[in-house]
Amino acid sequence: MKFDKPATTNPIDQLKVVGKPLSRVEGLLKVTGTATYAYEQHAAAPNAAYGYVLGAAIPKGRIDSIDIARARAAPGVLAVVTADNAGKLDKGEFYAARALAGPDVDHYHQAVALVVAETFEQARSAAQLIAVRYTRSAGAFDLAAAKDTAPPPKAAKFTPPAETGIGDFASAYAGAAVKLDQYYTTPDQAHAMMEPHASIASWNGDQLTLWTAIQQINWGGRDLAKTLGIAPTKVRLVSPYIGGGFGGKGTILCDAVLAALGARAAKRPVKVALQRPLMFNNVTHRPATIQRLRIGATSTGEIVAIGHESWSGNIAGGRPEAATAPTRLLYAGANRMTRLRLAHLDLAEGSAMRAPGEAPGMMALEIAMDELAEQLKLDPVELRIRNDIQVDPENPGRPYSQRQLVQCLRTGAERFGWQKRPQRPASRRDGRWLVGYGVAAAIRGAPITTSAARVRLDQRGVITVETDMTDIGTGSYTIIAQTAAEMMGVTVEQVVVKLGDSRFPESSGSGGQWGAASSTAGVYAACVKLREAVAKQLGFQADDATFADGQVRWGGRSVPLAYAARTRELVGEDKMEYGELSKQYAQQTFGAHFVEVAVDAATGEVRIRRMLAVCAAGRILNPKTARSQIIGGMTMGAGAALMEHMVVDHKLGFFVNHDLAGYEVPVHADIPHLDAIFLDEVDPTMSPLKAKGVGELGISGAAAAIANAIYNATGVRVRDYPVTLDKLIDKLPLRA
């Protein structure tokens, strides 16, 4: 099915099932521990051996020799895989890092060997017997030191333009009545998902089956086949449940490659789960940034010039952090400039993490807007409203498909009680606490991509949906079930959803905030085909038939849906493809974050008291699961604002706090009750469902709103995240 014109009325608009706040259809499996995650596929891959990964002990250099004799002779050991016996290995198309070191070592904890044994303990013990001799070479680990010589990134897929410019930024900025010029930094951050990177591999002849934790089944099959040098048709990937991804499980990483190599060497299934330190120093993370914001405005607050420069670092072939992305779209301003620079660093690869670009970019941009508002003596909400724009500021002939940013800001201000915000920083106390309010806008792209599905109707009237879409805790099972139920006129209880298997039709996968809108559109297309098959079987006209309440009605006749499949199962399969609407319209999601914090006047300890997000993101397919996504993003924003920071040892070249004891993330005690509301919106330019994604909107801007609230509470402006108490304590106002 081709979607190349804005959607008109269709069966989804009935909203009998779609749009309802249904609980997750797979929820019972997850809360009872019966959902089978990658490392738990015992029945599918019986008698699996255990693999343990040995990581490199240097950050940069070469392996001179590797002696595996003692490890190979250890009790229970079945195989030891190194670069010497693994065979030729390529790399996938998405990640730049190599799965296995040798002879060169590219970064600390890059995999050097995999030990396969009968038990995990045997494999772990034997790994310590491997003797590796290295020659260390000089490496680069400090973004600030590499900043001034960092070149523009090379053009590549998923890499935004290195430089953009509209008008004459330099002249407009120089002549502006009010100017802001500040630097901001964001640190390296870890995905820190609960489920580790884990895989079980099994070979049947030359056919490989991999049960793995992965967001993009389609990318994973492609990249694993390319890495191993086998045909993609020889690879089957299975990933029905994923315990958190956040972009860190986009495609295959070393656990998948090493499990496949280990299973081939041991001639039996092998399971590999990365130990927690390797999830920080081996696989991907959000890279640190140094950002410079320059904004020039009139004396009444209209932006006349806005410039955003960002520096990040990565290994050879890695991509930049696209922190300038939100600045290109969020506010008006005739004269604009963005620049990205990418330094070579010999740390683990930096790559996608929830809202790549927007999340760290808005951590800087939205503080800068607050600082500009203070210079102008304007309310921060009012400054943002004055600089709203209804067309793409880089391409004024391209309107936004929907843009309710002003409505988000006004609704949020009213609901939050923004009028009670302290007008002067550090002016409100509650006992020992300094109290402040903060605000930030939110924007996140609404991409949509080709996605396919297969839908079956059996003689019981049960609808079965098959697509290789994944559910990373986001609610994919539920919204896909709701889509199929709405289209076929049945209840959600009559729909079975099967996900995460490369034998199913290729979907969009989970990532980039495109999963929900894309995968449900693919299911819509398949259901249209099934409706046609049902109508043909019944002798009805598909275009005029009504599917509702388990019945099919046409021309005065009403027949049970199950009756159409009384003699044979009926199947509909199709994919949704897209025309030029995304080029004709700027398709984005918008929101506004409001925060109240309290800061201990003596210690600088920060406590979040309230957070509110107001979002405009197309039709909300399921308000309950969508709200969960938004408050999850807000929680990650709180972590980014207050605690998350992978600390780099600039001498030894690794992330020091590489576990959940040293890398702090928010826990229940850190997070109060959060509120998230959605404005009414449908976007007919997106798909027949008129929906967008929301999974990454909740984190975009949230950290800056917290930082702005801390400034309002204390009068201390911190531009280097996270805002920890050591950056506040010696600057706090003296107690009366």
- Kindly list the strands in the beta sheet with 570-578, ordered across the sheet, starting from the edge strand earlier in the chain: 2-3, 570-578, 451-457, 463-466, 495-498
Contact criterion met (CB below 8 Å) for 206 and 679: no
Question: Nearest-CA neighbor of 636 among 251, 364, 185, 246?
Answer: 246
CA distances, 457 to each of 488, 546, 561, 562 (Å): 10, 16, 9, 7
- Rounded CA separation 673/437 (Å): 16
Of the candidates 691, 720, 703, the one whose C-alpha atom is nearest the C-alpha of residue 19 is 691
Q: Is 696 a catalytic residue?
A: yes
Angle at 673 between CA 669 and CA 677, to 5 degrees: 145
**Closest to 331 in 3D by CA, of 299, 309, 308:** 308
* Distances from the Cα of 495 to the Cα of 26, 27, 39, angstroms: 12, 15, 27
> Beta partners for 399?
391
**Contact (CB, 8 A) for 451 and 491:** no
User: Could you tell me the sign of the dihedral formed by the alpha carbons of 241, 244, 248, 254, in that order?
Assistant: negative
Are residues 356 and 322 in contact, defined by beta-carbon separation less than 8 angstroms? Answer: yes
Phi, psi of 708 (to 5 degrees): -65, -35
Which of 556, 512, 555 shows the shortest CA–CA distance to 692? 512
As a whole number of angstroms, the distance between CA 38 and CA 196 comes to 10
Question: What residues are paired with 63 via a beta bridge?
Answer: 134
Give the ranges where 562-687 is alpha helix by DSSP (H). Answer: 581-584, 623-642
Cα–Cα nearest to 370, from 354, 384, 390, 353: 384
In contact, 191 and 244? CB cutoff 8 Å: yes
Using the structure block, give the residue that is written with the tokens 């986001």: 474
**Set 366, 371, 506, 696: catalytic member:** 696
**Spatial distance between the Cα atoms of 634 and 636, rounded to a whole number of angstroms:** 5
| 47-70 exposure pattern, b = at least 16 Cβ within 10 A, e = fewer | ebbbbbbbbbebbbbebeebebee
**Residue 534 CA: distances (Å) to CA of 339, 457, 492, 551, 556:** 55, 9, 19, 11, 17
Catalytic residues: 696
